[in-house]
Amino acid sequence: MRKLFGTDGIRGVANRYPMTAEVVVRLGQAVAHHFGQSGKRSRILVGKDTRLSGYFFESALAAGITSMGADVTFVGPLPTPGIAFLTTSFRADAGIVISASHNPYQDNGIKIFGHDGFKLPDEVELQLESLILATDPRSTADIEAEGDPLAALLDSERIGRAKRYEDASGRYIVHVKNAFPKDLSLSGMKIVVDCANGAAYKVAPAVLEELGAELIVLGNHPNGTNINAECGSTHPRFAAARVLETGADLGITLDGDADRVILIDEKGQLIDGDHILAMCAPALKAQGELPTNNVVSTIMSNIGLEIALRRHGIGLVRTKVGDRYVVGELRRSGAVLGGEQSGHLIFLEHGSTGDGVVAALQVLGIMQRTGKPLSELCKAMEAFPQTLVNVRVTSKPPLTELPTVMEAIADVEQSLGDRGRVVVRYSGTEPKARVMIEGPDNRTIETYAAQIADAVQEAIGAS
């Protein structure tokens, strides 16, 4: 059973287990050891978002990595997909991102990429866990306690170096601009972009301006504590208001590490990841750039996406929730486009993980090529009513071991028949069970969701 890693790395409240300096030092050691086993001196890239706690986690990682004889290169605040790209560009052995994505500033997390820029498979994360937990970082036990494999490898003659690379953002900006059609520009477009006071606060405006857009920039003054605070993709209403006030063509809202995006059309309506997939997949197919004629998404994507894609002869393959599982299926099947309703969009030809800026550029390219406004393009998909209820839980036993919950799910599924879907799952990053229902109308699905949520609350709910 996984004890540290969730669906997107390790995440928690800063200075509380597992997001403590002690755990992160050992994580740095474990990563340096794992990726340096060939006998050569390994090099690890480390980037972060704009959270205040990023400073001490950066230092903790450096302490762990260099103590094992590996070198570390800091690239500072940069979107998560930027770290993935630079890991391969620098020929680093691994890349580490210090970020809690869309969470508030009090939280932080660690994501790890291999030398190929892809997130680590489950089995590698479990190997790292076993090294980190060989001695319990919550105890005061001597790190050289018998049986600790990391302590046994520490050598005073083998110490790594740490350095900072100053032009990481410039290299990433060039990479992202190459994802936009070279025969087009954004000249004549007015765009509101909300950077969530996060990792993209410099690079997103730079990319859009260099491609010719007129910008209204929000959320580009991070102070360490305002990341995702009433801004960005988790609070898009402010950007929507500015789109209407300024007569902008669209709004782009990113989250704290810019690996997801929610768009806003010229009428102020929100455009989620499902709608973006429904727009982009047919365009790629028309250009002969959709091998396998499949799109990969998760069990949470709206059934309306499936119907919209089917009209173009495109299939939808569903995975577990988490962009790493979407990417895994893309690589396994040879497909190139996937994503999540939440706005994680993966264009595998342009990057190895979700990239909010790259995704926005794909939609902007379609707008420029067709001359159609975003409100017209998003009609490619009609979403079925969908509701999501979160229930805080005290534990996460298999749902099949909760008979009252399974009975509630079965009752709702029988009532819905082929007019909807039920998905009940645990969050991979929070102590929550998520109840998602699609159906014919909001009143019906909200009633059904409440029934299942009540059953979960009674069985394992937190008080």
| Sequence letter at residue 75 | V
Give helix 203-210 / helix 356-370 axis angle, nearest 10°: 20
Q: Round to whole Å and give the CA distance between 263 and 359.
A: 10
| Sequence letter at residue 248 | A
Side-chain half-sphere CA neighbours of 62 within 13 A: 18
Which CA distances in Å does 217 have to 214, 276, 344, 363? 10, 22, 21, 19
Query: Which is nearest to 92 in space by CA: 119, 113, 68, 66?
Result: 113
Query: Which is nearest to 363 in space by CA: 241, 271, 236, 256?
Result: 271
Q: What are the DSSP calls for 260-278, one per residue?
A: -EEEE-TTS-EE-HHHHHH
Side-chain half-sphere CA neighbours of 64 within 13 A: 27
HEC sequence for 120-179: CCHHHHHHHHHHHCCCCCCCCCCCCCCCCCCHHHCCCCCCCCEEECCCHHHHHHHHHHCC
Q: Round to whole Å and give the CA distance between 220 and 53.
A: 19
**Structure tokens, 255:** 């989250």
Helix (H, G, I), strand (E, B) or coil at 373: coil
| Sequence letter at residue 11 | R
User: Annotated catalytic residue: which of 99, 101, 233, 297?
Assistant: 101
**Cβ(289)–Cβ(362) under 8 Å?**
no
User: What does DSSP say about strands 261-264 and 162-164: parallel, antiparallel, or unpaired?
Assistant: unpaired
Would you call the peptide bond into 440 cis, given omega within 30 degrees of 0 as the criterion? no
Whether 101 is a known active-site residue: answer yes
**Cβ(98)–Cβ(54) under 8 Å?**
yes
**Cβ(268)–Cβ(302) under 8 Å?**
no
Q: Which residues pair with 44 in a beta bridge?
A: 72, 94
HEC sequence for 70-103: CEEEEEEECCHHHHHHHHHHCCCCEEEEECCCCC
Q: Round to whole Å and give the CA distance between 279 and 281.
A: 6
Query: At which residue do the structure tokens 């409240």 appear?
Result: 13
Q: Catalytic amino acids?
A: 101
